Amino acid sequence: MGDHGQVSARFRARTEPADLSYGGRDIHYLATGGTTDGAFGLYRWNFGPDESGPGPHFHKTMSESFFVLEGTVRLYDGERWREGQAGDFLHVPPGGVHGFRNVPGAPASMLLLFAPGAPREEYFEMLAEIAGGRQLGEQEAEEFFLRHDNYSVD
């Protein structure tokens, strides 16, 4: 870096296309773990018109935070579902049970922040394949969720 720093910032215009789109969802990889040297991962998640999002689950090795940008996003805080509106924020430390869902038929958008910056891109891309009809065997599904530090809660 020397005495004068370096030119290394990356600007992403709001008009850039999503990195992943499926089922009406658009996911923008704003800052991946790979681009932040593993410090964090930041993603913009735009919901489609159909209700979607994971039920209660937790991660052992990373925190996850949610910031609602637009619309209503149902956020599970481990005890109850809350109606998150634009400007609302939920932080979930490692091990914290959480989930999220959009309100069907209404536009919604949020930021997802993972720390440290786990490589969530492969996880999101496999979810898109599954939504598109890809079938995972029981063992393959178990290995996939373990590899991505996702533990479902009944």
Quick: pLDDT tens for 102-134: 988 888 999 999 999 988 999 999 999 999 999
pLDDT at residue 99 tops 90:
yes
Assign residue 84 the CATH number of its domain: 2.60.120.10
Identify the pLDDT of residue 33.
93
In a domain, 3, yes or no: no
The backbone torsions φ and ψ at residue 130, rounded to the nearest 5 degrees and listed phi first, read -65, -45
CA–CA separation, 98 and 58 (whole Å): 6
Number of domains forming the structure of the chain: 1
Asked if residue 141 belongs to a domain, the reply is: yes
CA-nearest of 95, 75, 93, 94 to 85 is 75
Domain membership flag for residue 6: no
Domain hosting 88: range is 20-152
